[in-house]
């Protein structure tokens, strides 16, 4: 493949600034453009490396003159500048595709899925780091993958990958690929077609050879259906909680009593999920996937076991905030789709005041109704348009309150909570109607609880 000389980077966030700096380091002509404002921290690094950039709009002539364009994952394919680039045949790739060209002999563990990928990625990174391996964390969390490649020399990269990042990856290959699940999410970016989204997630397996590993949930019906249509060359390592699946390479299986066994070749780990700090069925899946991935990477079983037991919950994912007056407050702001909320409600053992709402992404709330009927006595809708939530859960949840701000929602939730309850922020929706992102939503939730409840 002929190497491009002129690179344009669309987006000046963590993905964009890292890509621009790597391009500069590799001697390429690079120009970064952002429709919005670039954070002072990223601008300082761009200035330090001498990268030319603009903010507050795109200079189309310069971008269209590039040999190749690196697009940040938050920019949709429907954006006018992206459509122009595709129409004229300019390659548009992701940071992952670009950075992998320059990472040398380093190997990758790549994690994707509709839910669970952040916890699983963080857990894998912890196990690898605890084992003394020279490892970097990147992708959707941690530092920019491209920036790490530009400024360090690592043996392993643990990368959380969204479907948007996978869409811009073509020659990239995961040495160890992990697919947690495929459930409806981001359908607004996939023409409201679930098959398009599933195809995007399955790109995690592209270019893998017989030397590589593919770790996946054998309980996920969509993944199993997709595998039935495809022939993979990689070694398959399934994990499951319902029925064992025989695999020559290895597998992980959760026993009814809560113990799971993970094996890769002759390396075996056995864990009691009751001793883990992260609770619930979804975290058993996360731990099984992490155990398989790190065993496949050569980590000693005893190290895998200890690191999983030591691992504490990820921020904004079923994160305990505090308890007062017999009411517990839990921040699950990262639950931006129905499947994430299903696992959150599944793990609740106390009556629930559920705070949900935001920017709906074409959600089907039907899977939540059984748990909602059983466990939730009050639903507080928090968003600029709550009509769909109210309609869907009318007759399912006894008490439904519609609010249009965090403060209004929190006052309603705390007022409805009784001793022995849990107030659960688990929105099932994107945050962009009232907040910058899910982190901002979760942080403000915690600040409100600490200022008004735990004071």
What φ, ψ does residue 134 adopt, rounded to 5°? -85, 90
CA distance 219 to 222: 9
Q: What Cα–Cα distance (Å) separates residue 117 from each residue in 24, 113, 162, 287?
A: 31, 6, 9, 11
- For residue 360, the model assigns a pLDDT of 84
- For residue 90, the model assigns a pLDDT of 96
What φ, ψ does residue 68 adopt, rounded to 5°? -155, 145
- For residue 362, the model assigns a pLDDT of 81
Three-state secondary structure call for residue 391: helix
- For residue 1, the model assigns a pLDDT of 53
- For residue 320, the model assigns a pLDDT of 87
CA distance 187 to 196: 9
- For residue 141, the model assigns a pLDDT of 84
- For residue 186, the model assigns a pLDDT of 66
Domain with CATH 3.90.190.20 in the chain: 319-452
Per-residue pLDDT tens digits for 254-277: 998 899 999 999 999 999 999 998
pLDDT by 10s per residue, the chain, length 455: 566 789 999 999 889 999 999 999 999 999 999 998 998 889 999 999 999 999 999 999 999 999 999 999 888 888 999 999 999 999 999 999 999 999 999 999 999 998 888 889 999 999 999 999 999 999 988 889 999 999 999 999 999 998 889 988 999 999 999 999 998 766 777 778 888 989 999 999 999 999 999 999 999 999 999 999 999 999 999 999 976 666 777 899 999 889 999 999 999 999 999 999 888 888 999 999 999 999 999 999 999 999 999 998 778 888 889 999 999 999 999 998 888 898 889 888 899 999 999 988 788 899 899 999 999 999 999 998 899 999 999 999 999 999 999 999 999 999 999 999 999 999 998 888 789 899 999 999 999 999 999 97
State which fold the 103-310 domain adopts.
3.40.1190
What φ, ψ does residue 59 adopt, rounded to 5°? -90, 95
Domain with CATH 3.40.1190.10 in the chain: 103-310
Q: How far apart are the first and last CA of the chain?
A: 61
What φ, ψ does residue 126 adopt, rounded to 5°? -60, -45
Domain 6-93: state its class.
alpha beta
CA dihedral over 335, 341, 343, 346, signed as positive or negative: positive
Q: Which residues lie across from 402 on neighbouring strands?
A: 381
pTM for the model stands at 0.77
Element spanning 211, H or E: none
Per-residue pLDDT tens digits for 44-54: 999 999 999 99
Residue 63 DSSP class:
H
CA angle 446, 448, 449 (to 5 degrees): 65
State which fold the 319-452 domain adopts.
3.90.190
Domain with CATH 3.40.50.720 in the chain: 6-93
């Amino acid at each position: 493949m002929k190497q491009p000389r002129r690179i344009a980077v669309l987006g000046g966030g963590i993905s964009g600034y890292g890509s621009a700096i790597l391009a500069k380091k590799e001697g390429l002509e690079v120009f970064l453009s952002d429709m919005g404002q670039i954070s002072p921290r990223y601008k300082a690094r761009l200035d330090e490396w001498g990268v030319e950039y603009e903010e507050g709009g795109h200079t189309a002539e310069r971008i269209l003159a590039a040999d190749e364009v690196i697009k940040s994952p938050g920019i949709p394919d429907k954006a006018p500048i992206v459509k122009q680039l595709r129409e004229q045949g300019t390659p548009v790739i992701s940071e992952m595709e670009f950075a992998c060209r320059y990472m040398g002999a380093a190997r990758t563990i790549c994690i994707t899925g509709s839910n669970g990928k952040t916890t699983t990625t963080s857990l894998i990174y912890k196990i690898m780091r605890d084992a003394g391996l020279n490892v970097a964390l990147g992708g959707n969390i941690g530092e920019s993958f491209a920036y790490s490649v530009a400024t360090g020399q690592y043996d392993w990269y643990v990368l959380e990958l969204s479907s948007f990042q996978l869409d811009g990856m073509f020659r990239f290959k995961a040495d160890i690929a992990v697919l947690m699940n495929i459930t409806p999410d981001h359908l607004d970016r996939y023409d409201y077609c679930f098959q398009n989204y599933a195809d995007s997630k399955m790109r995690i397996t592209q270019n893998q050879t017989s030397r590589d590993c593919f770790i996946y949930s054998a309980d996920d019906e969509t993944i199993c259906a997709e595998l039935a249509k495809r022939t993979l060359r990689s070694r398959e390592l399934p994990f499951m909680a319902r029925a064992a699946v025989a695999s020559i390479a290895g597998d992980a299986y959760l026993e009814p009593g809560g113990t799971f066994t993970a094996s890769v070749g002759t390396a075996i780990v056995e864990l009691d999920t009751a001793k883990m700090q992260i609770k619930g069925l979804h975290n058993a899946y996360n731990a099984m996937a992490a155990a398989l991935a790190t065993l496949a990477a050569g980590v000693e079983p005893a190290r895998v076991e200890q690191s999983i037991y030591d691992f504490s919950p990820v921020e904004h994912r079923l994160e305990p905030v505090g308890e007062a007056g017999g009411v517990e407050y839990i921040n699950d702001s990262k639950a931006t789709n129905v499947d994430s909320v299903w696992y959150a409600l599944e793990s609740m053992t106390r009556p629930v005041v559920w705070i949900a709402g935001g920017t709906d992404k074409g959600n089907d709330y039907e899977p939540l109704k059984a748990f909602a009927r059983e466990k939730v006595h009050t639903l507080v809708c928090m968003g600029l348009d709550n009509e769909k939530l109210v309609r869907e859960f009318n007759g399912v949840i006894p008490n439904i309150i519609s609010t249009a701000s965090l403060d209004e929602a929190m006052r309603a939730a705390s007022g409805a909570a009784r001793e022995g309850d849990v107030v659960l922020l688990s929105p099932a929706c994107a945050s962009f109607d009232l907040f910058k992102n899910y982190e901002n939503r979760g942080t403000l939730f915690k600040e409100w609880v600490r200022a008004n409840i735990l004071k």
